[in-house]
Amino acid sequence: MHKYRISKYNPLFRDEDGSYQKNEWTAISDIGKCFDGIVLTDEKYISVEDKYVNAVKLIIKFHSLTSLNVTNLCHSFSNEEFINLIKPYSQLYSESLLDFYFKF
């Protein structure tokens, strides 16, 4: 079995304990906020999130996989908080995706 950790965070910015030291955006709720003098736009957010999906697709294709197991999935927000955060971007979340999210 193969195990992958997919992250946008540069390991050069982790301290000896593994804590990330650079101030970067972490969630859809950060759209509109400034990081290193650059405002996070919804286009940039979507671009980075799409890269996560594409990375998983490449792994699936490389290993000719027919299924995946997701472990250690955590939610950063309560269901109500999440719904409120994504309201401006609700077009990005299909009903089946939300059902999947709330199932875990």
Give pLDDT tens digits for 34-63: 999 999 998 999 999 999 999 999 999 999
Domain boundaries, the chain: 1-69, 73-104
Nearest to 86 by CA among 98, 73, 72, 99: 98
pLDDT for 86 equals 86
Mean pLDDT of the 30-34 span: 93
Q: Mean pLDDT for the chain?
A: 89
Contact criterion met (CB below 8 Å) for 85 and 77: yes
Neighbour tally for 51: CB within 10 Å: 12
Mean pLDDT of the 10-25 span: 92
Q: How far apart are CA 80 and CA 63, in angstroms?
A: 37
pLDDT for 55 equals 94
pLDDT band at 75 (very low <50, low <70, confident <90, very high): confident
Q: Name the residue with higher pLDDT: 61 or 4.
A: 61
73 has pLDDT over 80: no
Burial class (CB in 10 A: 0-12, 13-18, 19+), 28: buried
